[in-house]
Amino acid sequence: MRNILLKEIKLSASPLAFLFIAFGLMFLLPGYPVLCGAFFVTLGLFQSFQFARESNDTVFSALLPIAKKDVVKGRFLFTCFIELCALLLMAVSAVLRMTVFVNAAPYVTNALMNANLFALAGALVIFALFNLIFVCGFYKTAYKLGKPFVTFIIAAFVTVGAFEAAHHVPGLGALNAFGAEHIGLQLICLAAGMAVYAGVTAAAYAKACARFEKIDL
Amino acid sequence: MSIVEVRGLTKKYPSFELKAASFGVEKGRITGFIGRNGAGKTTTIKSMLNLVHPDGGEVDYFGKPLAGNETEAKKRLGYSTGAVNWYQRKKIRDIVDVVKRFYDTWDDGAYRKYLELFGLDESKTPLELSEGMKVKFNLLIALSHRAEVLILDEPTSGLDPFSRNELLEVFTALKQDGVAVFFSTHIISGIEKCADDIVYISKGKIVAAMPKEDFVSRCSAPGETLEDTMLRLEKE
């Protein structure tokens, strides 16, 4: 497992995938839909898939002494690694906004969604959609990137819109909590986001393995 | 016993069918896999490596079926194709540094030996290598993990006669070390020079699989070269 992840990092990945982890810091931006940061992180991953395809990475990996499903596992491990690194930056940013900068004017007057634990759950949902729609979709052919990525873009922006709109729905205002307000609810939302991410990613991985087994390279 | 045993391999595409291919590859022998373009050589090789899924048939490596023993088989074989470029802009050194971790049989001494023998510069990228050097790079990886059988798809295509000859000499040296070499080609002179066995495929069907001497005595007319024989057989 360590070797296949190392192969992804050293040979298959585009440098942009690592650079775009920094979009996690967009959680610090006031007056901006913070979940777009999660979408921008996936642009670097998309670039990596393209880079790997141009390097004939799939056939190269399939010839290594590993099971065919480990080729898929390597790509999922790498994807999750980048997503979780970005999530860490988002979490640090969100905690800063919830503690040190809780009374900072730009955040207090922020017209858009607050960067709190509910927003982190939103980022996890977007990453889960990427893994399901794009990564798993890619393994239908192991070379077509366009259609699964366009489908993911649509799903991602609908999700960003839904999360931004959620706290305007009567009775759901607590989702836009500042600092430690409604911390119980915030933690429940985060736990739900983590469960969605883990469950959807595991299902996407299983489906992608089954698809890849059937492909003629 | 054959080191690689192919039995009844079939694969059907809309416009092509591989028809129950059966043959063996022996330890310490060079097997030339010949046939014209589109005869089914690459489909056969890819099916042998599980890169495409055969509709039927079996492939055994070292006496065990590939299905269920894929990882072990891949540790003991090397594959190369002249046409594909891996990680064009990565340095050879960096590619090797990753690949070697997958093989517990990796031999740094052998790597250095073949690096020097093949005249490869590990600070170069595959993009900077000629076609012949790319084949040698793939061979370098296979030989450094002490592959016991080399499966090579058109390794001599696109090479100038000098590089082709050099490569055939490498095959002959490997054979003496007990390595089995199975290589596909449509360049008959290469087979004439170094092959011990011939597997001849035409329109998806294995027409002959036997030692080269037997093939020549059965199929060639007096005074006919192997190339003349192949041309005549294809016309027939």
Q: State yes or no: pLDDT of B82 exceeds 80.
A: no
| Range of lowest pLDDT (A114-118, A138-142, A209-213, B167-171) | B167-171
Is residue B84 predicted with pLDDT exceeding 70?
no
- Interface contact B97, partner A, CB < 8 A: yes
Q: Which of A55, A59, A65 sits opposite B103 (nearest CB)?
A: A65
Question: Which of A86-122 are b and which e, b meaning 16 or more Cβ less than 10 Å from the residue's Cβ?
Answer: bbebbbebbbbbbeebeeeeebeebeebbbbbbbbbb
Q: How far is B16 from chain A (nearest CA, A)?
A: 15
Four-residue CA torsion sign, B120, B124, B126, B131? negative
d(CA B51, CA B191): 26
Average pLDDT over residues B170-191: 89
What ipTM does this complex have?
Answer: 0.86
Tell me the C-alpha distance between A12 and A78, whole Å.
10
Residue with tokens 């070269």, as numbered in its chain: B225
Which of B71, B85, B94 has its CB closest to that of A56? B85
Look up the pTM and report it: 0.90
Q: Taking 90 as the threshold, does the pLDDT of residue B131 lie above it?
A: no
Which has the higher per-residue pLDDT, A166 or B219? A166
Q: What is the pLDDT of residue B156?
A: 81
Q: Which pLDDT score is estimated for B235?
A: 80
Three-class DSSP category at B132: helix
Say what the pLDDT of residue B142 is: 86
What is the rounded distance in angstroms from the CA atom of residue A90 to the CA atom of residue B71?
40
Q: Indicate the number of domains in chain A.
A: 1
Residues 42-71 of B with CB under 8 A from A: 46, 49-53, 70-71
CA-based nearest residue in chain A for residue B126: A55
User: What percentage of residues in chain B have a pLDDT greater than 70?
Assistant: 98
Question: Residue A214 in 3-state DSSP?
Answer: helix
Q: What is the pLDDT of residues B200-227, one digit of tens each?
A: 999 999 999 999 999 888 888 888 888 8
In 10 A of CB B68, how many CB atoms?
A: 9
Q: What is the pLDDT of residue B83?
A: 58
**What digits encode the pLDDT tens for the residues A117-131?**
999 999 999 999 999
List the domain range (segments joined by +) for residue A149: 2-214
